[in-house]
């Protein structure tokens, strides 16, 4: 049985931008959410830090370190640097 799902062409061997987020500076991303909402294609992904003993608990996004933001879809980053412009703590660095 053929299952053909057309997707955007994947360009193999392409190097994606390296996006680093300084976790020392970026402590409450879920409250700040500026980069998450400024990015045109939603490169960033914020998730709760899942400590094993806390996984059945509610966590407070106001407490530093409970949430972490990662550049999950850096393949779609155009290096427009909007996230860098809006970051209030200068935590984001993008390199080729």
Q: Does 57 bind another protein (CB under 8 A)?
A: yes
Q: Does 96 bind another protein (CB under 8 A)?
A: no
Find the Cα–Cα–Cα–Cα dihedral 65, 96, 76, 36, rounded to 10°: 30
Q: Does 75 bind another protein (CB under 8 A)?
A: yes
Q: Does 86 bind another protein (CB under 8 A)?
A: no
Q: Does 53 bind another protein (CB under 8 A)?
A: no
Complex with another protein: residue 22 or 41, whichever CB lies closer: 41
Q: Binding another protein by CB under 8 A: which of 68, 72, 84, 86?
A: 72
- Look-up: residue for tokens 């980053």? 77
Does residue 70 contact residue 48 with C-beta atoms inside 8 Å?
A: no
Q: Does 68 bind another protein (CB under 8 A)?
A: no
Query: What is the SS3 string spanning 74-93?
Result: HHHCCCCCHHHHHCCCCCEE
């Amino acid at each position: 049985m053929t299952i053909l799902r057309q997707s955007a062409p994947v360009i193999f061997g392409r190097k994606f931008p390296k996006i680093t987020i300084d976790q020392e500076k970026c402590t409450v991303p879920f409250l700040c959410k500026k980069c998450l909402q400024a990015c045109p294609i939603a490169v960033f992904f914020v998730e709760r830090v899942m400590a094993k003993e806390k996984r059945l608990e509610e966590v407070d996004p106001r407490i530093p370190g409970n949430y972490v933001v990662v550049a999950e879809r850096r393949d779609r980053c155009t290096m427009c640097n909007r996230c860098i412009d809006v970051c209030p703590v200068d935590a984001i660095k993008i390199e080729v």
